């Protein structure tokens, strides 16, 4: 029987803080969180500079690139969460986590959430880098911050769902390298998606990060922006519900059937 936690929010917060501290001391995760948004922003700056020379938009007047770079780093960290539960097996803690009296959600959500939220270090890295490149402080709009917050929630939910899928279906690990770029492209982080076929744009909206990117890219608040924000939140909640149900199935198979090589 799982123990009832008096204050689950405090439990989630403490667990996530502990896992974040642990991952921050692991060079592999930290380098990914820092270098991905940095390289993304530099490549975007090079592309903007090339566009300026050919009569396109110059770096000096381009839309803030730190938003896209930060989200790119956030999603890159999220993709690492697909193997974070397996990583717990590697460090020797998975069997104790699986048999804990604490509810599964409070045990495993902080682990996958921390893997995704580590990407938040890309925000100051991206903003400072763009400010240096433009030789001025880049203004930060409220919608950009709100959109990024939605992106964080979307990535946490995605991390939980992906981590569960990759544990439940062990052969899914071969598709791990294919997760990063499609979401970058379809969500609108890399480039405007208006040129994509309507069917593809519709499919992309089934991921909460796509709507979050639309909110962050908006210049003014409108009914459409509110709709995208609501869609992102709705899909995030749906992803979390599916992930929680999946984790219960995984633990039942591990404990009752002795499968998944957890115990």
pTM: 0.86
What is the C-alpha to C-alpha distance for residues 104 and 17, in angstroms, rounded to an integer? 17
Q: Does residue 87 form part of some domain?
A: yes
Question: pLDDT tens digits for 44-80?
Answer: 888 877 655 555 544 433 457 899 999 999 999 998 8
Q: Does residue 1 form part of some domain?
A: no
Can you give the pLDDT at residue 249?
Answer: 80
Structure tokens at 186: 């379809």
Q: Does residue 3 form part of some domain?
A: no
* H or E stretch covering 21: helix 8-24
Q: Does residue 2 form part of some domain?
A: no
What is the C-alpha to C-alpha distance for residues 87 and 126, in angstroms, rounded to an integer? 28
Q: Does residue 194 form part of some domain?
A: yes
List C-alpha distances in Å: 185 to 4, 72, 109, 173: 42, 10, 27, 21
Q: Which one-letter DSSP state was computed for residue 258? A: -
pLDDT band at 6 (very low <50, low <70, confident <90, very high): low
- Domain range for residue 227? 8-256
Can you give the pLDDT at residue 125?
Answer: 95
Q: Does residue 104 form part of some domain?
A: yes
Can you give the pLDDT at residue 148?
Answer: 96
Q: Does residue 84 form part of some domain?
A: yes
Q: Using the CB atoms, write b or e for 45-76: b if 16+ within 10 Å.
A: bebbbeeeeeeeeebeebebbbbbbbbbbbbb
More confident residue, 5 or 192: 192
- 247 exposure class (CB count in 10 Å sphere: 0-12, 13-18, 19+): buried
Question: pLDDT tens digits for 202-255?
Answer: 999 999 999 999 999 998 999 999 999 999 999 999 999 998 888 888 777 766
What is the C-alpha to C-alpha distance for residues 92 and 81, in angstroms, rounded to an integer? 17
Question: pLDDT tens digits for 78-129?
Answer: 988 877 777 776 776 776 777 777 777 777 888 889 989 999 999 999 999 9
Residues in the chain: 263
What is the C-alpha to C-alpha distance for residues 39 and 35, in angstroms, rounded to an integer? 6
CA 109, 112, 118, 119 dihedral sign is negative
Q: Does residue 235 form part of some domain?
A: yes
Question: pLDDT tens digits for 22-50?
Answer: 888 888 889 999 999 999 999 988 887 76
Q: How many domains does the chain have?
A: 1
């Amino acid at each position: 029987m799982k123990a009832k936690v008096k204050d689950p929010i405090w439990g989630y917060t403490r667990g996530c803080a502990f896992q974040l501290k642990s991952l921050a001391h692991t060079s592999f995760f930290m380098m990914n969180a820092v270098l991905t948004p940095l390289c993304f922003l530099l490549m975007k700056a090079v592309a903007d500079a090339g566009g300026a020379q050919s009569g396109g938009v110059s770096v000096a007047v381009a839309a803030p690139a730190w938003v896209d770079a930060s989200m790119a780093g956030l999603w890159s960290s999220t993709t690492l969460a697909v193997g974070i539960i397996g990583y717990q097996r590697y460090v020797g803690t998975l069997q104790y986590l699986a048999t804990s009296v604490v509810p599964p959600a409070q045990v495993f959500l902080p682990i996958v959430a921390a893997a995704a939220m580590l990407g938040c270090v890309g925000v100051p890295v991206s903003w400072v880098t763009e400010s240096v490149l433009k030789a001025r402080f880049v203004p930060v709009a409220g919608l950009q911050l709100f959109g990024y917050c939605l992106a964080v929630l979307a990535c946490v939910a995605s991390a939980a769902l992906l981590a569960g899928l990759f544990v439940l279906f062990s052969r899914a690990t071969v598709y791990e390298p294919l997760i990063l770029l499609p979401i970058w492209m379809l969500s609108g982080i890399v480039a405007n998606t208006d040129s994509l076929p309507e069917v593809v744009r519709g499919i992309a909206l089934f991921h909460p990060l796509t709507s979050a990117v639309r909110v962050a890219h908006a210049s003014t608040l409108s009914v459409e922006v509110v709709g995208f924000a609501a869609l992102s939140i709705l899909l995030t909640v749906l992803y979390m519900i599916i992930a929680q149900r999946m984790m219960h199935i995984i633990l039942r198979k591990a404990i009752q059937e002795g499968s998944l090589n957890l115990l």
